[in-house]
Amino acid sequence: MKLLHTSDWHLGRFFHNVSLLDDQRIVLAQITAYAVEHKVDSVLIAGDIFDRAIPPAPAIALLDETLHELTQVHDIPVILISGNHDSAERLAFGARQLANQNLHIMHSLEDSHQAIMLTAEGEKGQETAAIYGIPYHTPEAVRALYDEPVKTFDAAHTLLVNRIIECPSNADFNVLLSHCFVDGAEACDSERPLAIGGIDRVSASPMTTFDYVALGHLHGQQKRGYEHIRYSGSPMQYSFSEEHHNKSATLVTLTQDKPAEITLLPLKPLKRMRSIRGTLDELITQATHDPHSDDFLAITLTDKHAILDAMSKLRAHYPNVLQLEKDYLHIAHQTDKTKNTATAIQKDEQAMFGDFFQEITGEPLDASQKKYLQTLLNDLHQQTSEETQ
Ligand SMILES: [Mn+2]
């Protein structure tokens, strides 16, 4: 039995106001190609299908197209759960009808103990897998549904897992999908916390009896405590904190009396998210030899002086600069930390205006100009402090 585990597609996501849909389309096509190439028995998507409850229409169209390719063109069942970014109710539209068409949308907590049964030809004849899905849920939602004093994310999740385990399954393999934050797993910048202060963590131990657990929520691929309890991670980078992530889909091969075999199938993005640093001149020179100058970039400029409209100058060579930082601003802040703040701000202003003046006129400020500027700044600060008193 072969399953392809993926999660956190976040279709319709924008990053620094740039739509990622073209990039998402590329990696979804690779996932479909892997599913076909490896003749998987199902594709499992562990939540955060969309980036928001009401996704943009082109994102809905991309999901529709991808699911059509998988379930109708290639006859591969898709099983998915809703994540914290999805609206479970909206994602559930048509779920009962679609279940007859290879598409299983598991959105209900009440029905999370009901398995989708898969059959496949294994080495020892026909094999069956029971696939369970626990959609994203809050403790309040579980408490409202069952008459249990559930207070924490862990208690809520454990209750739902135990409900599944209590129902005996005679399948050869039992597989669970869940969208949750398993304790000890590593987060990055692009996940929205489920709750503030780390109270969203759930324990892995109740899930160990499953043959495989397909997790969603965390965007970095990782196992959690056990080889068969895993996050597939998102199919592409969604923040600069994922600069060193190599994204993949997880191919899971289940064989009787053996642990699940895991193969990471690499996904190749259209554009990577990465950070570079250097002076403006260095970076512009580098751009000519950079075959990936259209990557999404976070740039740190190390020039010691202010540069007029650095963003447009960089974008002429790197069209997708999304974030720009200037080292000298940090340095100025750090060195002046211990001094009087007002003096520090004034000093920065003087230096910055001096740089600006030089950039425009090609000449540094002379002594009388500096004196005039100082008087002007003093007057302005005087006015501001009087106004705020
Ligand atoms: Mn997510």
CATH of the domain at 257: 3.60.21.10
Domain boundary among 266, 281, 297: 266
Whether pLDDT at 338 is above 50 = no
Centre of ligand 1 to C-alpha 110, Å, is 23
Q: In Å, how far from its chain's centre is CA 180?
A: 14
User: How far does the centroid of ligand 1 lie from the alpha carbon of residue 8, in Å?
Assistant: 5
The reply to whether 20 and 159 lie within a common domain is yes
Q: 238 CA to middle of ligand 1, Å?
A: 9
Residue 83 CA to residue 10 CA, distance in Å, equals: 10
Residue 76 alpha carbon to ligand 1 centre in Å: 24
Read off the amino acid at residue 372: Y
pLDDT mean over 360-378? 87
Length of the chain: 389
Q: What is the pLDDT of residues 290-302, one digit of tens each?
A: 999 999 999 999 9
Tokens of 151: 């207070």
pLDDT in tens, 20-63: 999 999 999 999 999 999 999 999 999 999 999 999 999 999 99
Residues 314 and 229 in one domain: no
For residue range 210-226, list pLDDT tens digits in order: 999 999 999 999 998 89
CA 233 to ligand 1 center in whole angstroms: 8
pTM score, two decimals?
0.84
Residues 19 and 53 in one domain: yes
Structural contact between residues 191 and 245, judged by C-beta atoms closer than 8 angstroms: no
For residue 191, the CA-to-ligand 1 centroid distance in Å is 5
Domain that holds residue 20: 2-266
Question: What is the Å distance from ligand 1's center to 178 Cα?
Answer: 12
Q: How many angstroms is it from 172 CA to the middle of ligand 1?
A: 30
Kindly give the residue spans of alpha helices, DSSP state H, lying in 212-292.
280-287
- Structural domains of the chain, count: 2
pLDDT, mean of residues 116-138: 94
Please give the average per-residue pLDDT across 95-120, as a whole number. 96
274 Cα to the center of ligand 1, angstroms? 20
CA 193 to centroid of ligand 1, rounded, Å: 9
Q: Where are the alpha helices (DSSP H) in the chain?
A: 21-37, 57-68, 88-91, 95-98, 139-145, 153-166, 280-287, 310-315, 327-335, 341-361, 367-388
Domain boundary among 213, 239, 266: 266
Let me know whether 138 and 234 are in one domain: yes
Please check the confidence at residue 340 and state whether its pLDDT lies above 70: no
DSSP line for 106-155: E--STTTTPPEEEEEEETTEEEEEEEEEE----HHHHHHHSSS---SHHH
- Give residue 216 CA to ligand 1 midpoint distance, Å: 7
Instruction: State in Å: Cα 221 to ligand 1 middle.
Output: 12
Q: What is the pLDDT of residue 353?
A: 84
Q: How far is CA 70 from CA 91, 103, 116, 142, in A?
A: 18, 9, 17, 33
pLDDT value for 135: 96
* Residue 302 CA, distance from chain mean position: 29
Q: Does one domain contain both 138 and 225?
A: yes
Distance from the alpha carbon of residue 23 to the mean position of ligand 1, in angstroms: 17
Whether 257 and 343 share a structural domain: no
Q: What mean pLDDT do residues 75-86 have?
A: 97
Q: Average pLDDT for residues 240-266, to the nearest whole number?
A: 96
**Residue list, CB under 5 A from ion ligand 1:** 8, 48
Distance from the alpha carbon of residue 5 to the mean position of ligand 1, in angstroms: 14
Question: Does residue 345 have a pLDDT over 70?
Answer: no
Burial class for 124, CB neighbours closer than 10 Å (0-12, 13-18, 19+): exposed
Q: Which two tokens stand for residue 303?
A: 């020039």
Helix, strand, or coil (residue 170): coil
User: How many C-alpha atoms does 45 have within 13 Å on its Cβ side?
Assistant: 32
Residue-averaged pLDDT of the chain: 91
For ligand 1, the distance from its centroid to the CA atom of residue 49, given in whole angstroms, is 8
Q: Indicate if 218 and 296 belong to the same structural domain.
A: no
Instruction: With beta carbons less than 8 A apart as the criterion, state whether 217 and 8 touch.
Output: yes
Q: Looking at the structure, do residues 210 and 312 belong to the same domain, yes or no?
A: no
Residue 337 has pLDDT above 80, yes or no: no
Percentage of the chain with pLDDT > 90? 76
Banded model confidence at residue 379, pLDDT cuts 50, 70, 90: confident
- Ligand 1 center to 217 CA (angstroms): 4
